[in-house]
């Protein structure tokens, strides 16, 4: 993680020129673990009701421990509001689940309704997340319209099916553009100029990594199975099933990391908040794979007790801001 | 007490370095000398955000802006004096509380999934109205007929004989008033299989009849297992268990995101397989009891299981976690143990 190159003097207003700042994260694994485990206990004994308060505390911990240029972020979420949202969520999910369990036909109808509501839900969730985030006592916001979201998240993906997904990378670009260029910080807009070519490179790269690795893995597993054809070795079947699952997770991990690292860098390097800041990100494929892999291994080895550390390790990496003043 | 803090006046992204004085009498005085700002407020007028770990303390100055100060013992003491804003943080950082949580979290999770959810599921299944069960069964059979099932190729006369004998068996048992209609279907995709819908409709595939060489004793044993699911309302219980498990895992662990999803998905599968296996045991034991009531040999159940097991790949101990049915070997042993 990079430290600020400027002094930590909080009063940014004195700067007259552009300067660069990194992201500092102050969270500590031990401290967060004890917060997490106590909140988890409270959530369980209250049958999930306290989970709304736990969520606010978790988010506040991450936001307030993230520092850029001498200032921390703030999370403004209200537990009661989150609890209400969760109750509505339980009712909707329960209704959907029960209806679909009782009738596959009802499930189909509800799925279509849900699909139509997806853009609405995406907008609501991004808006909520942005409005609950503040930096220097200024709130973020999101102004994406439902109509536009409908085009981005429903019409274009369906249209891409008819092009055999050939325009999918462009659709992914349009989605990201929709999300980022509708974010505001106070009265300043985020401007992002994303390039379609970059999305094609990232998508095709991820696709080929996935296909090639999967083919190699299948070939290797198939070869080892062919050797073990006698019936006793068939008992190894379920073990090879486990191996296949692990291979599957690894392939997905590698392919998605390639995409994520590239696109994340591209989005940040081509976005800015007008007159406030531009971003620089140079997260490498290797860094991201290592980050995700070590998280996963830690989680499996500790039977999930390393779970809270996951968030801590995912705190901003290889990220800088150029602040204009 | 005098400290330095960051003051963000309302309505802008300006940040000023402020001098803050907390007085014994409960007043806060904030001054920014260069800007000629001086704000004095009593503790009741402040909106103090709860202490959390060692993050900076945020104080809303009743419409005038936000003040952020480092979290030090002295500051926390002053800020927590009246409104108990330190209470939760004190619990969270208390060593014995953390230790207690480390023990109680796994224990409660175990009790929650092992006893509370199945208990809730039994109650739920009793409240499901008759017509909902009927609709569920009809819709399910309809969609299966459209997709996986074809008309049976078994001779109509033979089908009728099976049905008559089945009705004869049923009349000798004391059961709920469900109508256990026996149906036959052909299906390549399902192979040798039998299932019961929650309204009592029982479906047997042609391949299953072939597998058990049309032996009626074995067929009866299998049918009794299937109606064991119906008698104990297993479909409804499994629905409730699946729903409750997904919600619980999501709300207890959902905040962390990312690779956790793989982990949560895996635990969800394992937990639900345990529920399903428990229901299979109940249905097995129901079938074995009914066979005894009818004066039939439980061996026919064991034989039916052996025939099925022969069509499946050999099981390893790991399968006990990964599949919805108990291990075949154990089911056969259980049936033989009844004699």
| One-letter-per-residue 3-state SS of chain B | CEEEEEEEECCCCCCEEEEEEECCCCEEEEEECCCCEEEEEEHHHCEECCCCCCCCEEEECCCCEEEEECCCHHHHHHHCCCCCCCHHHHHHHCHHHHHHHHHHHHHHHHHHHHHHHHHHHHHHHHHCCHHHHHHHHHHHHHHHHHHCCEECCCCHHHHHHHHHHHHHHHHCCCCCCCCCCEEEEECCCCCCCEEECCCCCEEEEHHHHHHCCCCHHHHHHHHHHHHHHHHCCHHHHHHHHHHHHHHHHHHHHHHHCCCHHHHHHHHHHHHHHHHHHHHHHHHHHHHHHHHHHCCCCCHHHHHHHHHHHHHCCCCCCCHHHHCCCCCHHHHHHHHHCCC
- Separation of alpha carbons B276 and B278, rounded Å: 5
The SS3 assignment for A230 reads coil
Block residue for tokens 């959810």: B117
**Residue B118's pLDDT is what?**
93
* Contact assignment for A44 to B105 by CB distance below 8 Å: yes
- Counted residue by residue, chain A has a size of 325
CA pair distance B7, B30, nearest whole angstrom: 9
> What does the pLDDT read at residue A97?
85
Residue A150 CB contacts under 8 Å (≥ 6 apart), including other chains? A119
What pLDDT, on a 0 to 100 scale, did the predictor assign at position B252? 82
Task: Yes or no: say if B13 and A136 are a contact pair by the CB < 8 Å rule.
Answer: yes
- A310 to chain B: which residues are within 8 Å by CB? 256, 258-260
- How much is the average pLDDT of B303-317? 82
Q: In this complex, which of B16, B53, B252 lies closest to A44 when CB atoms are compared? A: B252
| Interchain contact, B319 vs A238, CB within 8 Å | yes
Q: Given the structure tokens 């620089």, which residue do they identify? A: A280
- Rounded to a whole number, what is the distance in Å from the CA of B202 to chain A's nearest CA? 17
* Tokens (6 digits) for B81: 């004096």
Alpha-carbon distances of A70 from A25, A59, A275, rounded to whole Å: 11, 19, 19
Q: Please answer whether residues A69 and A12 qualify as being in contact, where contact means their C-beta atoms are separated by less than 8 angstroms.
A: yes
Beta carbons of A86 and B251 less than 8 Å apart: yes
| DSSP state letter for A35 | H
Question: What is residue B121's predicted lDDT score, i.e. its pLDDT?
Answer: 93
pLDDT in tens, B80-129: 887 678 889 989 999 999 999 999 999 999 999 999 999 999 999 999 88
Counting one residue from A and one from B, how many pairs have CB atoms under 8 Å apart? Answer: 179
- Measured over the CA atoms of residue A315, residue A318, residue A324 and residue A325, the dihedral's sign is positive
Cross-chain residue pair B6–A10, CB shorter than 8 Å: yes
Complex-level ipTM: 0.82
Which residues on neighbouring strands pair with residue B32, listed in sequence order? B37
| Confidence (pLDDT) at B267 | 79
In chain B, the domains with their CATH numbers are: 2-93 (2.30.29), 111-336 (no CATH)
Of residues B311 and B60, the one with the higher pLDDT is B60
What distance in Å separates the CA atoms of residue A189 and residue A74, rounded to the nearest whole number?
Answer: 19
Test B319 with A13 for CB contact under 8 angstroms: no
Q: In terms of Cα–Cα distance, which of A190, A56, A201 is closest to A133?
A: A56
**Residues counted in chain B:** 339
Mean model confidence pLDDT for chain B? 88
The number of beta carbons lying within 10 Å of the beta carbon of residue B28 is: 21
Residues in chain A with CB shorter than 8 Å from the CB of B70 are: none
Among the partner-chain residues A11, A57, A105, the one whose CB lies closest to the CB of B52 is A57
Mean pLDDT of B225-234: 92
> What is the distance between the alpha carbons of residues B266 and A256, in angstroms, rounded to a whole number?
20
Taking an 8 Å cut-off on Cβ atoms, the answer to whether B260 and A307 are in contact is yes
Residue A189 to residues A129, A186, A281, B11, Cα–Cα distance (Å): 16, 8, 20, 17
pLDDT tens figures, B264-300: 777 788 888 889 999 999 999 999 999 999 988 899 9
User: Is B210 within 8 Å of B192 (Cβ atoms)?
Assistant: yes
Q: Do B65 and A299 touch (CB under 8 A)?
A: no
Confidence check: pLDDT of B313 > 90: no
Task: Give B74's contacts (C-beta < 8 A, 6+ positions apart).
Answer: B1
**Phi, psi of B29, rounded to the nearest 5 degrees:** -120, 125
pLDDT values of chain A reduced to their tens digit, one per residue, 325 residues: 333 333 333 334 444 567 888 888 898 888 988 999 999 999 999 988 999 999 999 999 989 998 988 899 999 999 999 999 989 988 888 888 888 888 878 888 888 888 899 999 999 999 999 999 999 999 999 999 999 999 999 999 999 999 999 999 999 999 999 999 999 998 889 999 999 999 999 999 999 999 999 888 888 777 665 555 555 555 555 666 777 778 888 898 899 999 999 999 999 999 988 888 888 888 889 888 888 888 777 776 766 666 666 555 555 555 677 776 5
Residue-wise pLDDT for B150-180, tens only, equals 999 999 999 999 999 999 999 888 887 668 8
CA distances from B49 to B58, B71, B77 (A): 6, 12, 14
Give B100's contacts in chain A (Cβ within 8 Å). 41
Separation in Å, CA A129 to CA A123, A133, A142: 10, 7, 9
What phi, psi does B183 have (nearest 5°)? -130, 150
Of B49, B247, B256, the CB nearest to A90: B247
């Amino acid at each position: 993680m990079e430290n600020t190159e400027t002094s930590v003097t909080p009063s940014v207003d004195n700067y007259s020129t552009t300067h660069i700042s990194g992201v500092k994260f102050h969270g500590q694994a031990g401290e967060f673990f004890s917060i997490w485990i106590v909140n988890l206990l409270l959530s369980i004994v209250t049958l999930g009701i306290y989970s709304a308060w736990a969520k606010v505390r978790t988010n506040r911990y991450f936001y307030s421990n993230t520092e850029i240029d001498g200032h921390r972020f703030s999370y403004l979420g209200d537990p009661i509001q989150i609890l209400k949202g969760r109750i509505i969520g339980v009712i909707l999910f329960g209704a959907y689940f029960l209806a679909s369990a009782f009738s596959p036909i009802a499930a189909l109808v509800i799925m279509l309704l849900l699909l139509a509501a997806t853009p609405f839900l995406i907008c609501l969730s991004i808006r909520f997340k942005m409005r609950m985030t503040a930096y220097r006592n200024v709130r973020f916001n999101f102004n994406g319209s439902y109509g536009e979201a409908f085009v981005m998240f429903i019409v274009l993906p369906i249209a891409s099916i008819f092009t055999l997904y050939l325009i999918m990378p462009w659709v992914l670009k349009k989605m990201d553009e929709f999300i980022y260029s509708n974010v505001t910080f106070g009265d300043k807009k985020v401007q992002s100029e994303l390039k379609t070519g970059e999305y094609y490179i990232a998508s095709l790269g991820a696709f080929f990594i996935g296909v090639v690795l999967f083919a190699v893995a299948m070939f290797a597993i198939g070869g080892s199975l062919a050797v073990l054809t006698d019936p006793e070795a068939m008992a190894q079947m379920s073990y090879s099933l486990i191996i296949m699952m692990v291979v599957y997770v690894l392939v997905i991990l590698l392919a998605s990391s390639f995409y994520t690292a590239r696109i994340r860098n591209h989005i940040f390097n081509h976005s800015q908040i007008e007159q406030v800041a531009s971003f620089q990100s140079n997260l490498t494929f290797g860094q991201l794979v290592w980050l995700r892999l070590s998280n996963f291994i830690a989680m499996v080895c500790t039977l999930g007790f390393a779970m809270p550390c996951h968030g801590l390790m995912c705190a901003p990496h290889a990220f800088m801001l150029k602040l204009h003043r | 007490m005098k400290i330095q803090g960051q003051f963000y006046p309302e309505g802008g992204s300006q940040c000023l370095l402020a001098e803050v004085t907390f007085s014994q009498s409960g007043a806060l005085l904030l001054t920014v000398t260069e800007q000629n700002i001086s704000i004095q407020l009593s503790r009741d007028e402040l909106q103090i955000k709860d202490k959390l770990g060692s993050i900076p303390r945020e104080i809303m100055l009743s419409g005038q802006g936000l003040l952020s100060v480092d979290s030090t013992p002295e500051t926390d003491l002053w800020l927590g004096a009246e409104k108990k804003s330190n209470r939760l943080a004190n619990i969270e950082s208390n060593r014995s509380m953390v230790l207690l949580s480390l023990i109680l979290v796994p224990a409660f999770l175990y009790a929650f999934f092992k006893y509370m959810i199945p208990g809730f599921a039994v109650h739920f299944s009793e409240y499901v109205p008759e017509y909902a069960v009927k609709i569920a069964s009809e819709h399910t059979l309809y969609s299966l007929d459209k997709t996986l099932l074809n008309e049976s190729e078994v001779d109509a006369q033979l089908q009728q004989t099976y049905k008559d004998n089945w009705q004869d068996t049923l009349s000798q048992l004391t059961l709920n008033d469900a109508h256990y209609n026996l149906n036959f279907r052909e299906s390549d995709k399902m192979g040798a299989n039998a299932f019961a819908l929650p309204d009592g409709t029982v479906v047997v595939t042609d391949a299953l009849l072939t597998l058990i060489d049309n032996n009626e004793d074995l067929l009866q044993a299998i049918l009794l297992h299937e109606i064991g699911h119906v008698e104990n309302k297993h479909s409804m219980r499994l629905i409730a268990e699946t729903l409750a498990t997904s919600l619980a895992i999501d709300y207890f662990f959902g905040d962390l995101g990312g690779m956790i999803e793989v982990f949560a998905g895996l635990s969800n599968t394992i937990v639900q397989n345990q529920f399903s296996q428990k229901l299979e045991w109940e249905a097995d034991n129901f079938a074995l009891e009914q066979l005894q009531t009818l004066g039939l040999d439980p061996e026919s159940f064991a034989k039916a299981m052996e025939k099925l097991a022969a069509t499946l790949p050999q099981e390893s101990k790991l399968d006990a976690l990964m599949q919805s049915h108990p291990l075949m070997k154990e089911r056969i042993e259980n049936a033989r143990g009844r004699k």
